[in-house]
Structures are given as structure tokens and as C-alpha cells.
Amino acid sequence: MSFQNAYLNSVMDDLRARYAHEPEYLQAVEEFLEPLSPVIDSDPRYEQQNIVGRMAEPERLICFPVSWVDDQGKTRLNHGFRVQHSSALGPYKGGLRFHPSVNQSVMKFLAFEQTFKDCLTTLPMGGGKGGSDFDPKGKSDGEVMRFCQAFMNELYRHIGENTDVPAGDIGVGCREIGYLFGRYKKLKNQWTGAITGKSLASGGSLTRTEATGFGLCYFGAAYLADHGQSFQGKKVIISGSGNVATYANQKCTEMGATVVAMSDSNGYVVDENGIDFRIIQQIKEQKRERISTYPNYVPTAKYVEGCAGIWSVPCDIAMPCATQNEIDTDSAKLLVSNGCKAVFEGSNMPCTPEAIQAIKASGLLYSPSKASNAGGVAVSGLEMSQNSERLYWTFEAVDAKLKEIMENIYRQCADTAAKYGQEGDIQAGANIVSFLKVADAMLWQGVY
């Protein structure tokens, strides 16, 4: 892909040459720069101060080995990362992912995306991401605890409530956050809000667990309403069955939709009567089983092996909530030909660039993850506020604030797209508005 603006092309060419072995990172940057040409043309300072080149690279990249002892007494080695991408708008903020697919490219793409997502919330947060290629799946509680402690033995020196505030992501839920927070507190001898997604009794925020899924639906509802529609009576596919997917199911079901299919990395379940989020929660969070067991609890459901097949299920709305690049061109075309009208992204960068093109070219509503999945980090921001003032807010107060933030993100994206002649293009709006915010802060702070 090449851009209209020559400076953007030169930045992208440099990145391609330098990071040829980091495809996810290059994909995220390229997607972000695509609608920016008219914005760059409008102010010579962006090129003069190399704002885009400086914004694209992380401010700091931390890599470290993580050694831990398994239940057999064998010493195991994994690789840890923390990518501190941008502190232009606040302390680095973003989750930790524990998954075998984690590598430097994946970490850098996630940290890059996080910066722009976080700024859309309008809360004072920079962007970062971290994690490890450790797989919590199939590990005992003791092994997970020892791994988390070993990971924190290094990470603790790089984070803090005013420096960098990690949270959860794929493979890092309430259990892992507890072990990480416990070790952090021990090492620092300080009780601070340096990690979010904490359990309620330990300084967590009500609604944080539900926030990404709920936020996705609040965003989707605002987008649909702008087009005279709603979730009422819609058939929805939600890929994944983790935290985002589970609570997206709860909220859109409450809004009158029927979730006809959900998945995990092995396969998917279909039920025209609707997939029950409470059973998914029980299978995944309490029993830590595979989704293939769902029909044992709900006999009307059918399990199909192979997760990619979920996109062949006819639906009105697709909400990918599993992982990056889970919708390729073929899946996108299947969705379109089966009558799907909207794709709202819940996982980070779930659609390949070609899939996005196919979705938009067919006139579907399309929301990029940095806008529609910002609810999780938004409530993390609210958790930081509550920790700072040593107070807890009610579920209703946090939920209302989350809804307001998501509706505001939609409005900012839609209005900015219109202002720059790309009416209706929420992807362009999200990238332009978040670029402007980070760029303005960088211009104001000088060449640091």
C-alpha cells in the first residue's frame, strides 16, 4: 500500500525495511496511517518534527527471560515483554497477554494500537502492552502462580501508578492479576493502583470485568442508532468465549439480540435459541473447560470442530472477540454473502486489511477495535481514579460513565470522519482523531 502523502510513505518504507520480520506491527501502523494524508498535508510541523516517525516507534521496549519451576520440579524458560509505546497523554497503560503466539511483533502492534485506543477514551493514559509466550492453558494454579511471580520479579521495576499501569488481556484474568499484584506489592512494599483489573476486595472497580464486552455493545448501539437501527431482534455471532465475548453476549442479549454462535480456539457452538453467557462463563472461568462441552449443558446446541467456520453461520451482526487476524478475506466474503450488516470489532485487529476492505466495500457498518473495544481500558482508567482517591464507585456509576465514554468515542469518530470528507467511515475517524490528540501533545511537549 502507498499513501498520497510522500512523508507518510517515507516513514512506512523505513519501518518496512527495519522491521520486515514484524508483520503484525507493520500491519497495525499501515492501517493507522492510511486515512492520514489530508491531516499531514494540513500542518507542516508534523513532517518537520517527524511526528509520525516518532509516534510509530515505541518509546521503550523491554524484553526479559522468565524462569520458573513446574510441578515436576523442572525449570522452564519463557520470554517476557513490556512495550512502553507512548507517554504523551499519561502513564503507559495497557494489558498483559500470556499466549504462545506472543512475540515482539505482536507486542509492538498491541502497544501501538493501545496508545490510540486509550486516547479515544479521553482519560489521561498513554499506551503500552506486555506479556509472555507462557501458556496458562493446562497449567496448575501453582504453576501459574510461580510463573506470574517470576514475571513480576523483573516487571516491577518498570511499572508504577504514575509510570506504567498493566492490566489483563488474553490469558491474564482475575487469577493472574492477583498473583502479579501480590508479588508487586511484596517487592515494592507499597499498596498502589499500579495494576488494574484487580479483584473487588483489593481495589478493583465494579464493571471492570464486564467493561470491554459491555462497551462494545454500547458503541455498537450508538452506531446502529445513528443508522436508525438497534440490536433488537438481530442475530449476532460472537467469536471467542473469554472475558470480552462473554460480556458482549450478556449486554447484546439484554438489548434484544440473539447470540447464535460462539467459539474457542478449537471450534464453535451454534444455537438458534441463543447461547447462554452464564454457561459459557461457568465452562470457561470456573471449570476451565473447552467450549466443546457446551452441548452437555444445553442439548439444543451443536458443536463444530474448527473455529474459523464460525463466520459461515448466517447473522446480522458479527462481533469478533477472539484474537488478531481471525477474519480473513474468505470469512469476510462469507459474512457479506450471508447477509451480515455490521462488523463491530471486540478483539484487537481481528480483521486482515483485505477483510476490512471487503467489509467496507460491501457497505456494512464497520468499527475498528481501537474505537469499539476501548471500554475495558476506559474502566481501567476509572479504576485508577478510584484508587487515587481511595474510594469505590457503585456499579451503576461506573457503568453509566462507561456508556457515556463509548457513545462519546462513537461521536468523535463519526464527526471527525465527516469533517475530513470521509463521512460514515468510523475507521478513518478513529485514526484521525487519535492521531490529532497524540500529535498535539507531542508538538506541545517538544522533541523529548
State the catalytic residues: 129
Instruction: Point out which span in 45-53, 87-95, 267-275, 286-294 binds ligand GLU (CB under 6 A).
Output: 87-95
Name the packing angle between helices 353-361 and 329-337 (round to 10°): 20
39 binds ligand GLU (CB under 6 A): no
Containing 125, the helix (H) or strand (E) segment is: none
Closer residue to ligand GLU (CB): 323 or 348: 348
Closest CA relative to residue 404, chosen from 122, 116, 90, 119: 122
229, 412, 325: which is closest to 31 by C-alpha? 325
Among positions 173, 242, 267, 376, the unique one binding ligand GLU when judged by CB under 6 A: 376
Q: How far is the CB of 381 from ligand GLU (least distance, A)?
A: 8
- Dihedral, CA of residue 13, residue 17, residue 19 and residue 20, to nearest 10: 110
- Determine which residue in the list 217, 377, 413, 442 makes contact with ligand GLU, applying CB under 6 A: 377
Q: Which of 58, 90, 95, 136 binds ligand GLU (CB under 6 A)?
A: 95
- Map the footprint of ligand GLU across residues 336-375, applying CB under 6 A: 348
CB 192 → ligand GLU: shortest distance, Å?
A: 15
List the one residue from 94, 127, 130, 350 that touches ligand GLU (CB under 6 A): 94
C-alpha cell at 393: 464507585
What distance in Å separates the CA atoms of residue 258 and residue 276, rounded to the nearest whole number?
A: 10
Q: Hey, what's the torsion of the CAs at 151, 97, 19, 437, to 10 degrees?
A: -110
Q: Could you identify the residue written with the cell 456494512?
A: 364
CB of 373: closest distance to ligand GLU in angstroms? 6
List the grid coordinates of 13: 518504507
Helix (H) or strand (E) segment spanning residue 251: helix 243-254
Q: Considering the complex, what minimum distance in angstroms separates the CB of residue 178 from ligand GLU? A: 15
In terms of CB distance, is 35 or 168 closer to ligand GLU?
A: 168
Q: Does 126 bind ligand GLU (CB under 6 A)?
A: no
Q: Tell me how far apart the alpha carbons of residues 53 and 33 are, in angstroms, rounded to a whole number.
A: 11
Q: Are 249 and 275 in contact (CB under 8 A)?
A: yes
Is 240 a residue that touches ligand GLU (CB under 6 A)? no
Helices (H), 43-173: 45-48, 51-56, 104-120, 141-155
With CB under 6 A as the rule, give the number of residues binding ligand GLU.
11
Can residue 239 be called a binding residue for ligand GLU (CB under 6 A)? no
Residue 169 interacting with ligand GLU (CB under 6 A) = yes
**Cβ closer to ligand GLU: 169 or 271?**
169
* Residues found near ligand GLU in the complex (CB under 6 A): 93-95, 117, 167, 169, 196, 348, 376-377, 380
